[in-house]
């Protein structure tokens, strides 16, 4: 697995000013506001191209596929070239909400063979806090020439996700109340995959939204049962916040398989069992 990489605002600013071979992607997305284009147009990192997570980092299928199925490689390549990614480019991704959108972009592009994808640590707020400038409007990049190939990272299908708790650890990274089945605002059933262990994404970042150190992340996941030979998978609502967990685990030196369908797929299959409460 390609190891996760962070970039700080000042390093990114230098690369932009030096006209380095670089593509910057703004992946603003929230559950309550999935289209971040208006916010992007109001102010974004200079040179950044807007990416629609729902339309370009996900496919569209039946409910049984989940809310954000992983995109087909041909569709992703078309989008990546529109964003201006050339062969050999460093790609920097950011968002303004818990690094969810940026991590999804990191996972999808790394899985497609882009060798150098970095996440802006702390997102847009870190850029602002550093006193760096924003630009408004829309950036239309020159068409890129990147060639993508699939399956560079490990993923889980629904049967593999069901089987993993018997041999490894499947983390459910949603909020505890959704994991326990106390609330379910989006998907048709409440609860979690039997055997999944709750590890909310908030534990991966500090109060400023920056990722915790590799040592802190390693200690966190060791406390949750991960050892050097543990097979690890990550699941969430629809495969978005789980990408943030996969990124954090990679920072800690742990390869984690992404269950892209996640709870939105599982809960749409009435034959699949559901667990509730605090216990896996």
- How confident is the model at residue 28, as a pLDDT? 98
Q: Which is nearest to 66 in space by CA: 190, 149, 157?
A: 157
Q: What is the pLDDT of residue 229?
A: 93
Q: Which domains does the chain have, with CATH numbers?
A: 5-129 (3.40.250.10), 155-266 (3.40.250.10)
Q: Which pLDDT score is estimated for 120?
A: 98
Of 123, 121, 110, 91, nearest in space to 21 by CA: 91
CA 23 to chain centre: 18
Grouping H, G, I as helix, E, B as strand and the rest as coil, residue 183 is coil
Say how far apart CA 222 and CA 234 lie, in whole Å: 15
Ranges of beta strands (E only) in the chain are 5-7, 22-26, 49-50, 90-94, 117-120, 155-156, 169-172, 197-198, 232-235, 256-259
Long-range contacts of 210-218 (CB under 8 A, 24+ apart): 210/121, 210/122, 210/126, 211/6, 211/99, 211/121, 211/247, 211/248, 211/251, 212/248, 214/251, 214/252, 214/253, 217/248, 217/249, 217/251, 217/252, 218/252, 218/253, 218/254
Q: Answer whether 231's CB lies under 8 Å from 161's CB.
A: no
Residue-level pLDDT at 111: 97
CB burial readout 47-71, b (16+ within 10 A) else e:
bbbbbbbeebbbeeeeeebbbbbbb
pLDDT of residue 2: 59
In the DSSP assignment, the letter for residue 201 is G
pLDDT at 43: 98
Hey, which residues does 240 pair with through a beta bridge?
Answer: none
Question: Which backbone phi and psi does 97 adopt, to 5 degrees?
Answer: -150, 90
Tokens of 100: 């969810």
* 236 is known as an active-site residue: yes
Residues of the chain with pLDDT under 70: 1-2
Look at the chain and count its residues: 280
∠ CA(265), CA(266), CA(268), 5° rounding?
A: 70
- Cα–Cα distance, 79 to 90 (Å, whole number): 16
Q: What pLDDT does 3 receive? A: 79
Tell me which residue of 110, 113, 95, 112 sits closest to 250, measured CA to CA. 110
Residue that is written with structure tokens 């954090």 in the block? 248
Could you say which of 53, 119, 236, 248 is catalytic? 236
């Amino acid at each position: 697995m390609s190891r996760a990489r962070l970039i700080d605002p000042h390093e990114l600013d230098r690369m932009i000013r030096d006209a380095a071979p670089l593509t910057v992607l703004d992946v603003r997305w929230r559950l309550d506001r999935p289209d971040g284009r208006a916010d992007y147009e109001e102010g974004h990192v200079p040179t950044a191209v807007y990416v629609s997570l729902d339309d370009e980092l996900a496919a569209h299928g039946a409910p049984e596929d989940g809310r954000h199925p992983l995109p087909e490689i041909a569709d992703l390549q078309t989008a990546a070239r529109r964003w201006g990614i050339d062969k050999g480019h460093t790609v920097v991704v950011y968002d303004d909400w818990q690094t969810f959108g940026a991590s999804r972009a990191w996972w999808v592009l790394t899985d497609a063979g882009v060798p150098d994808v970095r996440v802006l640590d702390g997102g847009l707020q870190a850029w602002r806090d550093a006193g760096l400038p924003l630009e408004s409007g829309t950036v239309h990049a020159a068409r890129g020439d990147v060639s993508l190939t699939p399956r560079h990272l490990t993923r889980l299908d629904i049967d593999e996700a069901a089987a993993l708790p018997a041999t490894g650890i499947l983390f459910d990274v949603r909020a505890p109340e959704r994991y326990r089945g106390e609330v379910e605002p989006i998907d048709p059933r409440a609860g979690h995959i039997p055997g999944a262990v709750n590890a909310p994404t908030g534990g991966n970042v500090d109060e400023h939204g920056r990722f915790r150190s590799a040592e802190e992340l390693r200690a966190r996941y060791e406390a949750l049962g991960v050892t050097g030979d543990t097979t690890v998978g990550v699941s969430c609502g629809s495969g978005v916040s789980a990408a943030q967990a996969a990124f954090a685990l990679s920072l800690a030196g742990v390869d984690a398989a992404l269950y892209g369908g996640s709870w939105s797929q599982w809960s749409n299959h009435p034959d699949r069992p559901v667990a509730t409460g605090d216990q896996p």
